[in-house]
DNA sequence: TTTTGTGAACGTGTTCACAGCG
DNA sequence: CGCTGTGAACACGTTCACAAAA
């Protein structure tokens, strides 16, 4: 398969969500135009994104909501469940644990780790917090969420990689060094705030994207 | 000024952080090469990013850490303080409130809002939770953080805009409709997880970026 | 000699525009 | 006729490569 851009994958995730909503509203078919409008992009973008993976629509009609949803679900790898570990039982870690939404999407938080003796051994939600040194390949973790202070982030990433984890979601504002076969996504709230600060400091307001065409 | 890409602004935020670290370590000058290595990008990228705003370095020598830090600080609009409101005193909202890092960067969380009677009127950290209907232009909010359930997100965005807020940080997995002069940044953890799911489902591992050159 | 600053070249993602099919 | 699927055109961000300056 040709290389797929990160933007395309992000949009697939958005399409998937829209399709779930439309299905819940009882919609049976949807055009690229309508799908695009919900996301504020162009219909050509929708069709191009989908075309990388196949031809899921019917000319003159549009896409079957159910069929397209199933296809994107398969493309995104959501037909299986993923074992997630959260490292760092602080505010962000606990917020993630408390949020129920991920399990329904196939992401099961199966372990929580920390180094703080005040936290280790105590429950956080349904899980007992384990010391990070106990993390091992036997935990069979697919995705590790790094919710530690920034100084511990690289060390934790190394430990996760050593335990065979191939996907990291990093909340620490630090570039992580990982082997080539490990994927990292970063959520950097400081950068988000600073991007807003930059934008608000400019003399002119933003230009909105062109509406879906 | 020519249009600055979002990628460039994000990287400026990263450079700023690296410069703070280098300054703390006692470094006085830094080359684009070294700055690039810390972020895993090319030195040409660093120089190009900075060149949009001026000439901050000295040929043959590099950049003064202190001077460049001050310049980027000014560029990002961090020479002033920003008034931030958090809407939604749930897990994410409370995690943000509890996190001390933002205030030191110039972002003061000055108000918390919710609609839940069980939360309104009670303190969350140093702030008392107010009902979202009390939000007004008198709060003089610069940046609104939407940490509500997804169904309330658009309504809250409308209220923020009505109160004169021109920057939104959206944690809800929903595209927000806002006027042209309002900036939105989205942190969508579901999409992050699904992007990892997609990546881990591919037959081949990732390719790392080329090292800084 | 070292390292910046930058026009030009390049590569990649987006949009256009229309052929192809239902 | 309507809407998809897609090659081509376009726009834009990144990298190259070198002149300029310390």
Partners of B208 on chain A (C-beta within 8 Å) are 180
- pLDDT tens for A33-52 read 999 999 999 999 999 999 99
Task: Walk me through the domains of chain B, giving residue ranges and CATH numbers.
Answer: 6-75 (1.10.10.10), 82-192 (3.40.50.720)
Which of B3, B9, B105 has the alpha carbon at shortest distance from B50?
B9
Residue A130, beta-bridge partner list: A113
| pLDDT of B208 above 60 | no
B26-48 average pLDDT score: 97
pLDDT confidence bin for A102, thresholds 50/70/90: confident
Per cent of chain B over pLDDT 90 is 89
Tell me, what's the pLDDT at A2? 77
pLDDT confidence bin for B102, thresholds 50/70/90: confident
How close, in Å, is residue A65 to chain B by CA atoms? 19
**Of A1-5, A12-16, A163-167, B204-208, which gets the smallest average pLDDT?**
B204-208
pLDDT confidence bin for A191, thresholds 50/70/90: very high
Tell me, what's the pLDDT at B204? 63
pLDDT confidence bin for B100, thresholds 50/70/90: confident
Distance B27 CA to C22 C1' (A): 67
* CB B62 within 7 Å, strand C: yes
- pLDDT tens for A12-40 read 999 999 999 999 999 999 999 999 999 99
Among chain A residues 40-69, those with CB within 7 Å of any atom of strand C: 41-42, 44-45, 47-48, 58-61
Per cent of chain A over pLDDT 70 is 95
pLDDT confidence bin for A66, thresholds 50/70/90: very high
What is the sign, positive or negative, of the torsion defined by CA atoms of A6, A8, A12, A18? positive
| pLDDT of A160 above 60 | yes
B33 DSSP assignment: H
Q: Report DSSP letters for A178-191, one per residue.
A: --TT-EEEE--HHH
H-state helical runs in B118-188: 150-162
pLDDT confidence bin for B188, thresholds 50/70/90: very high
- pLDDT tens for B107-118 read 999 999 999 999
CA angle A131, A137, A140 (to 5 degrees): 100
- Spatial neighbors of A28 by CB under 8 A, at least 6 apart, are A64, A65, A66
Q: Are B46 and B32 in contact (CB under 8 A)?
A: yes
Partners of A193 on chain B (C-beta within 8 Å) are 82, 84, 102, 105, 107, 143, 169
Tell me, what's the pLDDT at A78? 98
pLDDT confidence bin for A173, thresholds 50/70/90: very high
- pLDDT tens for B2-13 read 799 999 999 999
Q: What is the mean pLDDT of chain A?
A: 93
A128-157 average pLDDT score: 97
Count the neighbouring beta carbons within 10 Å of the beta carbon of residue B130.
19
Tell me how far apart the terminal alpha carbons of chain B are, to the nearest angstrom: 28
Tell me, what's the pLDDT at A145? 98
Q: Does B105 touch chain A (CB under 8 A)?
A: yes
């Amino acid at each position: 398969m040709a290389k797929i851009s990160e933007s395309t994958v992000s949009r697939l995730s958005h399409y998937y969500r829209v399709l779930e909503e439309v299905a819940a509203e009882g919609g049976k078919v949807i055009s690229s135009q309508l799908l695009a409008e919900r996301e504020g992009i162009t219909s050509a973008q929708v069709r191009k994104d989908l075309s990388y993976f196949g031809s899921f629509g019917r000319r003159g009609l549009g896409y079957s909501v159910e069929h397209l949803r199933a296809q994107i679900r398969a493309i995104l790898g959501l037909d299986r469940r993923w074992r997630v570990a959260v490292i760092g039982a602080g505010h962000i870690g606990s917020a993630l644990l408390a949020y129920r939404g991920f399990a329904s999407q196939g992401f099961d938080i199966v372990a929580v780790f920390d180094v703080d003796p005040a936290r280790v051994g105590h429950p956080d939600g349904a899980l007992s917090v384990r010391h990070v040194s106990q993390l091992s390949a036997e935990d069979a973790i697919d995705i590790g969420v790094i919710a530690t202070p920034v100084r511990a982030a690289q060390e934790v990433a190394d430990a996760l990689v050593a335990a065979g984890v191939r996907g990291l979601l990093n909340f620490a504002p630090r570039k992580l060094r990982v082997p080539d076969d490990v994927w990292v996504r970063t959520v950097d709230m400081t950068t988000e705030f600073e991007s807003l600060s930059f934008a608000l400091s400019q003399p002119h307001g933003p230009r909105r994207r062109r509406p879906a065409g």
